[in-house]
Structure 1
């Protein structure tokens, strides 16, 4: 997993977890624990699906309602890359976060993250879809729709420019990487005329709208957002491939938060129903969930790695060991 983002700790809000102290008496041979000081502030990480300028007005009312409900000031942390939120949580500088499935399983692995809630879309679904998109005016688009965008991309990759979102994105990288490339034993890094990582769903959509690349990844929720933020750009975009359904997004907190704070957070998320605040976020509700809800994403991630290894010729001993380990992980997730 690539880690290119340097986290400027001075730009992050100060960590607010204070350790437990103890008072000891050697004369009486006892140690009396003293409760840790209450948390003074929480930082809420928000992955960079679009620009901070677009995200801030959507999130600030929700963050304000959360602060008021739990009685603890909550501040939003907007990162320029998904990895920024993961790393901030890893170092205790973000305490709760909105993730995508792929970024969450990475945060659960390295950043002490624990999912406790799942978003529900305005149509009531607990899932969404990854897409390949192209510009309606691009000559390739009609042919790609007729043939199937995934098949067209595979057969014509050498002539195409292609944009992923970023490596920690579920719909912008993991899902299309597995279903389109890994399953067909194709390495996208080697087959395109030009391959880029744009950094966000908004950026891939605009790259297509402006004819800067031929094909890019996106998802239905981000394209619905684009209809509101940039309708002229959305009109230029055609969907040429749709994935199987993806589990909707998790909300996760650090496992080491005090239990009373976790309880307050769960109570807020499970019971918050203000449509005026939720609908701009494209949510109708938030419901209880746990880490296993995103095991299908883990399966995709592992299966993708397995297929990539199997496509190599002349596996080294290290490759074979890694392949056996991945297959063991996959069997464990699938209960076999």
Structure 2
């Protein structure tokens, strides 16, 4: 009898373990709640319908659109768990993560064939010898408004993260009218360097594919060849197709795969959600957003909030 009982226990233990493992699996997602910022686009529900239908077909579950007035409303809803998925700017992703640490990015869109990244820059005057950041110590830095991601928040927070307090390092932070004016101020000698942004991809002669240097080139102003990138931030993805961390992992893999295949398999759906990014999706992970995540870290707020000085 003892041998029989032991045999029965040995048979039942694997079954109990399997039942416990099955119980621990998250319940299948009944439907996907997609949050969208309406802004001034009154046709957004109709415009996004091809994207919504493609998600339903690819994921085999209903997809509901939750239309909200602003991107801030979408951030709050995602952090609170009122929606499951949203397309956010990189900075909005960082803001959401700072609220709850409950989200992760799946993909970002490319504007062209180059990697879907851009950089915050500090640009100075070109000299015969290569300039370094140390050469700008005690100088005047042209910056944008304190709410500018690449013209203020990212450069200041990331300089601090690298060990350079910009408020102690530079003599003055000087507010510029706009990023192109900042580059002109460098050439005119009004400041020693200025913040800017760029893809740093494509032709150097035309100021790369996009960004402040390219805008300066397109403006026809002379002197682009007399400007030099002295510092650059970590790369920043263009946007973040973001989901709640609590969603089942298998579902998140399926959604990421659907996004990565979308431009090739359902271009109408892709351009419905990314009309200005014809290059298609590429995958992202949380660490890809570190340059903007730093702007929400408490230890860098003193650098960012000293906004009365520029």
So what's the TM-score if we normalise by structure 1? 0.49
1:285 is aligned, of 277, 280, 284, to 280
SS in 2 for 1:129: strand
Partner of 1:42: 34
Q: Output the CA distance in 2 between the equivalents of 1:148 and 1:253.
A: 42
Q: Output the CA distance in 1 between the equivalents of 2:218 and 2:79.
A: 37
Q: Output the CA distance in 2 between the equivalents of 1:161 and 1:304.
A: 24
Q: Output the CA distance in 2 between the equivalents of 1:217 and 1:152.
A: 18
Q: Output the CA distance in 2 between the equivalents of 1:145 and 1:63.
A: 53
Contact residue 138 and residue 169 of structure 2 kept, 8 A: no
2:86 is aligned, of 90, 94, 97, to 97
Partner of 2:288: 294
Q: CA 1:190 to 1:118, structure 2 compared with 1: closer, same or farther past 3 Å? A: same
Deviations 1:121-176 (A, max 9, x none): 5224253322235xxxxxxx64689764845654322xx54225637x4x445652
Partner of 1:68: 53
Partner of 1:205: 179
Q: CA 1:126 to 1:161, structure 2 compared with 1: closer, same or farther past 3 Å? A: closer
Contact residue 90 and residue 110 of structure 1 kept, 8 A: yes
Contact residue 139 and residue 172 of structure 2 kept, 8 A: no
Deviation of residue 269 (structure 1)?
A: 0.9
Deviations 1:44-102 (A, max 9, x none): 359xxxxx67xx69x9898443212124353665747xx66533422345542334556
Contact residue 94 and residue 293 of structure 2 kept, 8 A: no
SS in 2 for 1:104: helix
The answer to whether 1:166 aligns with 2:162 is no
Q: How many residues align?
A: 246
Compute the RMSD of aligned alpha carbons.
5.5
SS in 2 for 1:42: strand
1:117 is aligned, of 99, 102, 107, to 107
Structure 2 unmatched ranges of 5 or more:
1-26, 57-62, 201-207, 304-310
If asked which structure has higher relative contact order (CA below 8 Å, sep 6+), I would say 2
Deviation of residue 272 (structure 1)?
A: 0.8
1:176 is aligned, of 155, 161, 170, to 155
So what's the TM-score if we normalise by structure 2? 0.52
Q: Output the CA distance in 2 between the equivalents of 1:303 and 1:259.
A: 27
Q: CA 1:301 to 1:64, structure 2 compared with 1: closer, same or farther past 3 Å? A: same
- CA radius of gyration, larger in: 2
Partner of 1:253: 243
Partner of 2:164: 185
Q: Output the CA distance in 1 between the equivalents of 2:145 and 2:132.
A: 15
Q: Output the CA distance in 2 between the equivalents of 1:60 and 1:181.
A: 42
Partner of 1:156: 139
